[in-house]
Each structure stands twice: as C-alpha cells, then as structure tokens.
C-alpha cells in the first residue's frame, strides 16, 4: 500500500496528512520467511510489513527483521506466505524491469 492518511493531531504538520510509507503496517503470514516467534497478538508466522519509505538511506542493507537480506533483491526474493505471489511476480520480470523496480525501491 503506497499512501496512508494520518489521523487528527494537534500539530497541523502531522494532522490529516497524506503520506507514502509504502506499507500497510499490518501483520501478514510470511510462511517460512517469518521468525517463528509468537509475540503479543502476532502468531509465529506473522510479521509486520516494514515501511519501504526510507530505503534510500540504507547504506549497506541489513534488511528483513533479522538483517538476513543483504540486498533489496534478496529481500524481495525472501517473501513467502502472503508475499509469495509478489516474490513470484518479481522473479518472472525481465532483467530490465527487475532493475527498474530495484532502482525505484532505492529512491524511496
Ligand atoms: C512488489 C511487491 C513488494 C516489494 C517490492 C516488497 C519489498 C519489500 C522489502 C524490500 C522488504 C524489506 C524491508 C526492510 O527490511 O526494511 C519487505 C518486507 C516485508 N514485506 Fe514486502 N514487498 C512486496 C510485497 C509484499 C506483499 C504482497 C506482502 C504481504 C502481503 C509483503 C509483506 C512484507 C512483510 C511482512 C515484510 C517484513 C518481513 C520481515 O521483516 O520479516 N510484501 N518487502
């Protein structure tokens, strides 16, 4: 999910603002790519969607909840469970389109 809208806040700059976190901040079943730990209301296979906003600031990536993905490409290819279809679609992209997507992610 690209855009979200903030709720009401006393600071006008934060109130009712459209922003682009590129996340839904929801828990998703990530299958074998999850940590297997039940935490609060999250089941062992559920992980919260990381915001992609800010990826341009990641110098030497340690992505995923445990830093196991060393590149953006590796992170996308880790998706399992509810993210498996996105992983498969990415894997099927032609090299040029794949490069364009990775270049876009690096601008967020
Ligand atoms: C083209 C589609 C997608 C791209 C490019 C993408 C990209 C990424 C990247 C780069 C990360 C690592 C972020 C970080 O560690 O800071 C990530 C994490 C995550 N993504 Fe996606 N994603 C996509 C689709 C999806 C879908 C469809 C779902 C679920 C329905 C999903 C759920 C998650 C979750 C739960 C995490 C956090 C995983 C963890 O840390 O264990 N993603 N995604």
Contacts with 12 (C-beta within 8 Å, 6 or more apart), sequence order: none
Q: From the CB of residue 49, how many other CB atoms can be counted at a distance below 10 Å?
A: 17
Q: Ligand 1 pocket by C-beta < 6 Å: which residues?
A: 28, 30, 47, 49-50, 52, 63-65, 72, 75-76, 79, 82-83, 86, 90, 105
In this prediction, residue 9 carries a pLDDT of 97
Residue 24, pLDDT > 90, answer: yes
Predicted model pTM: 0.92
pLDDT tens across 52-104, in order? 999 998 766 799 999 999 999 999 999 999 999 999 999 999 999 999 999 99
- The encoded tokens of residue 67 equal 């830093």
Tell me which DSSP letter residue 19 carries. Answer: E
């Amino acid at each position: 999910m690209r855009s979200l809208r903030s709720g009401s806040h006393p600071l006008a700059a934060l109130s009712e603002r459209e922003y682009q976190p590129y996340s839904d901040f929801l828990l998703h079943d990530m299958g074998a790519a999850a940590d297997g730990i039940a935490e609060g209301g999250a089941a062992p296979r559920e992980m919260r969607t990381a915001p992609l906003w800010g990826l341009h600031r990641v110098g030497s990536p340690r992505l995923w909840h445990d830093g196991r993905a060393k590149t953006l490409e590796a992170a996308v290819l880790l998706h399992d469970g509810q993210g498996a279809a996105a992983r498969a679609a990415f894997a099927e992209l032609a090299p040029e389109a794949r490069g364009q997507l990775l270049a876009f992610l690096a601008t967020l």
